[in-house]
Amino acid sequence: MSNPVLEIKNLHVWYRTYGGYSRVLDGVNLHVYKGEKVGLVGEAGCGKTTTMRSVLRILPEGQAHIPEGQILYHGNDILKMKPRELQQVRTRGISMIFQEPAAALNPVFTVGTQMFDVIKYSGLSKEESRKDNIKRLAIQAIKEVYIPDPERILNCYPNQLSGGMKQRICIAMAIVTARELLIADEPGTSLDVTIQDQVHRLLRGLVEKKEMSLIMITHSLGVARELTDRIYVMYAGNIVEVARTSDLFANPLHPYTLGLLSSVPKLTGGGVAEGIYGRIPDYLRPPGGCRFHPRCPRAVQRCREEKPLLRDLGDGHQVACFQV
């Protein structure tokens, strides 16, 4: 296969707090090929958003500290880029959709103003960035996300739109100019299930049509199953299992993945499972060895002392666990 579009190698991110360093990410490895749809699944607070924010270098400055790791975009390390190069990546390479559409849009500017700004600063040539061309691109993008009457929408303020429409506008902004990689951070989470379904179908359709790569951050295994080719399961700042989507659901291996899968209420009925004992660790004093061991039903002495690394069990199915 060709080189990956994005490759994260052994990424560590710490946050500075009053109590000391909060060691959130603990060696994350992840890669995405061209045209691939990848899911990053984990519970709240496991570091999914931190990972993706560090890709765009939009972590809170002064608080976040990256002691180790590389984020390679076409082989160039984003963490070492100069502002100019970084600007290139942000305007042409990678775009991101945020979880809360209401917070991602500025309430005091019209949708049109905000969209025109995105297009204006996306590195178009002088000829292309004429006013009428910008407007044409914006209208086309709004049409692509199936919102009727784009001209009227451009003059609307975000509070005049419903949650589903706002999220569609955010998607339109992310795809309005050609990008290689789209990072979607729980785009459906704050929406109702029927609207979420529409947004996800739209997103998949657009990514496939434009041959983009997609990283889908979600806490829902069901959403990841419907949208992605390959899934990374994340727990407490570590990737614990990687597999093709069909393999992961047919043959989940890591105890955390198993616990997560059994906790999901099923449409087939049969009651609710027990859940996973305990909760996500305190990052100021994370447990030694495997970070999952205090909650793991299969933990042995070795898990407390040594950190398991991802091992390939064939066919790209990787697990970080001694017991598998």
Q: What does the binding site for another protein look like in residue numbers (CB under 8 A)? A: 43-44, 162, 164-165, 192-198, 200-201, 219-223, 225-226, 249, 259-276, 279
Q: How far is CA 256 from the centre of its chain?
A: 20
| Among 261, 275, 258, 229, CA closest to 319 | 258
* Nearest approach, Cβ of residue 268 and another protein (Å): 5
* Nearest approach, Cβ of residue 243 and another protein (Å): 14
* Nearest approach, Cβ of residue 88 and another protein (Å): 35
181 vs 203 by CB, closer to another protein: 203
114 vs 198 by CB, closer to another protein: 198
**What is the H or E stretch that residue 92 is in?**
none
164 vs 308 by CB, closer to another protein: 164
219 vs 307 by CB, closer to another protein: 219
130 vs 298 by CB, closer to another protein: 298
Q: Do 263 and 275 touch, CB atoms closer than 8 A?
A: yes
d(CA 16, CA 66): 11
Q: Do 174 and 98 touch, CB atoms closer than 8 A?
A: no
d(CA 139, CA 35): 25
Query: Which residues have a Cβ under 8 Å from the Cβ of 41 and sit 6 or more positions away?
Result: 48, 218, 219, 220, 221, 224, 231, 232, 233, 234, 260
* Nearest approach, Cβ of residue 283 and another protein (Å): 13
Three-state DSSP at 66 gives: strand
* Nearest approach, Cβ of residue 308 and another protein (Å): 20
